[in-house]
Amino acid sequence: MATISVDYPHKLSDAELEKALHEYSLEIFSSQGNINKVMLYSPLIQLGQNELQGRQTKRATRLSIGASSLSIVIALLALYISLNSARVNDQWESGQINLLERISDGVVASSDELGFIIREESALTRSSLESILEQED
């Protein structure tokens, strides 16, 4: 006859609980339908199975909470990296705009200077041509 532990089912380990469930099932099977044994061990088997299922549910819940927490941490890290990248990108763009403005100002100044040089060269060429033509006459 299987013994019923005083700690059954809450203080038994999973292995001990599974062993007890197996023993209780064997008692019912070996009694060949003795109603007293069926009525004695059936509630114990149900209680033990409920305890095992509750433990598995707790483990699954803890695992789900851990995975969810990890997901939240990863999402927050991604958000931080994204915001930091956007800030750095804004600073870089601002620097590029300043650089392009300086280049543009330099090109405008060079263009003005080049225009002056071309006008002076044209005037010089014209005056040289006029003096050459006057000397030929």
- Which pLDDT score is estimated for 65? 98
Give me the average pLDDT of each 10-residue run along the chain (137 residues): 85 94 92 88 95 97 97 97 93 90 87 85 86 78
What is residue 130's predicted lDDT score, i.e. its pLDDT? 82
Q: Quick one: pLDDT at residue 137?
A: 64
| pLDDT for position 12 | 93
Whole-number pLDDT of residue 88: 92
* pLDDT at position 114: 85
What's the CA gap between 27 and 38, in Å, rounded? Answer: 8
pLDDT at 112: 81
Q: What are phi and psi of 10, to 5 degrees?
A: -70, -35
So where are the chain's domains? 14-136
User: Does the predicted model carry a pTM greater than 0.75?
Assistant: no
- Cβ proximity of 41 and 30 under 8 Å: no
CA gap 7, 53 in Å, rounded = 17
CA distance 79 to 81: 5
